[in-house]
Amino acid sequence: MESTREKQEVTLLEVLNRVINKGVVVSGDLVISIANVDLIYVGLRLVLASVESLGEGYWR
Amino acid sequence: MLYVYCIVNREGWPPEELVELKGVEGLEVYSGSIGHYGYLYSEIDKAGFTEDQIEELSQDIEWLTKNAAVHEQVIEFAQGSADVIPLRLFTIFLTEASICDMIKRENEKFAQIFSDIQGRREWGLKLFINTDHIAIHAKKHPDFIAMEKKMEESTSGATFFIKKRMEKQLEALKEKMSFDIADEIHQAVLEVAAAGKLNKLLSKQTTGSDKPMILNAVYLVDKGSEKEFKEKIDELIKKFVPSGVEFRFSGPWPNYNFCQL
């Protein structure tokens, strides 16, 4: 069985991948691109422990 | 300045409970509309969101994870009562007038997307494989057995080279068998989905799993077919977990992967 922490990690990766990589790009007045998502994923695992209240019922 | 979360199809829009919703940095979420479309946004402080500051925020993993989750929650809320085109994190406009200009400009493309995604939601499926498990099956493959036989019959001088070749052969067989399984599962899921897409496989370093990823797929599924879709996934789990396949199934998601302009 996966632990809760692992499940959260998996889902957070899913969320980040979608909102950063897959969300629709429209030409806004400000154009921001986040270059290296893979690096974010790796860094994410290091700080996950410090991210606490991300809301119940949110994790799938 | 306006931070925009998503474009919505205006049928039944805007919902009344919007006040309950908090957006990025805990800000209020508002709805606006033009023509057939609505949008959800927060008013952000211009001084706190210069391009340099956004660049900095985008590297602050703690900020990013918190606000990416909020961005997603706002979009999921919208999806509760309408079809939604989710926008990327940090989509920022200076005025409502420039949002309206953008919507007018992209009007035809939005109409096409909304017609494609109407009444449908996205589901994700990632598959991982237990390589020890697949090795057991690969060793039963006729090609491998033939090599083993050759090895037994060989003189001691040739053993080293045959052994090397066997290792290579085993790796190739493991890979082929893994991707055959992934393909079989993907094809079976496509039968109950309106559309499917394959995303690139993620490295072990990225996934944090000790098992290699063999499928990274997303499916667009009619709300009316979701029961059938989940039954198909359950059926595949029963069939393939004993072969060492790990399923990571997620959803329903806003249609991030099926809304490209």
A52 CB-near residues (< 8 Å, 6+ apart) = none
Token match 């959260």: residue? A8
Chain B residue with the nearest C-alpha to that of A25: B88
Rounded CA-CA distance B89/A16 in Å is 9
Read off the tokens for B136: 């057991």
Task: With CB atoms and an 8 Å threshold, state whether A25 touches B106.
Answer: no
C-beta atoms surrounding B53 within 10 Å: 11
Q: Are B131 and B260 in contact (CB under 8 A)?
A: no
Q: What is the pTM (predicted TM-score) of this model?
A: 0.84
Among B91, B94, B100, B103, which would you mutate to test the A interface (most chain A Cβ atoms within 10 Å of its Cβ)? B91
A residues 25-44 near B, CB within 8 Å? 25-30, 32, 34, 38, 40-44
Q: Are A24 and B39 in contact (CB under 8 A)?
A: no
Rounded CA-CA distance B238/B178 in Å is 17
Q: What is the CATH number of domain B121-135+172-258?
A: 3.30.70.100
The SS3 of residue B129 is strand
Interface pTM, i.e. ipTM: 0.80
C-beta atoms surrounding B97 within 10 Å: 10
Cis status, amide bond into B212, omega within 30 of 0:
no
Nearest-Cα distance to chain A for B135, in Å, is 23
Q: Are B256 and B88 in contact (CB under 8 A)?
A: no
pLDDT tens, position by position, for chain B (261 residues)? 899 999 999 766 666 666 578 999 999 999 888 888 999 999 998 888 877 888 788 778 888 888 999 999 999 999 888 899 999 888 889 889 999 999 999 999 999 999 999 999 999 999 999 999 999 989 998 988 988 888 888 777 778 888 888 899 999 999 999 999 999 999 999 999 999 999 989 888 777 789 999 999 999 999 999 999 999 999 999 999 999 999 999 999 999 999 987
Rounded CA-CA distance B41/B32 in Å is 8
Type of residue found at B153: E
Give the DSSP H or E segment for A46: helix A37-47
Which phi-psi region, left, alpha or beta, contains residue B35 (left: φ > 0; alpha: ψ -120 to 50)?
left
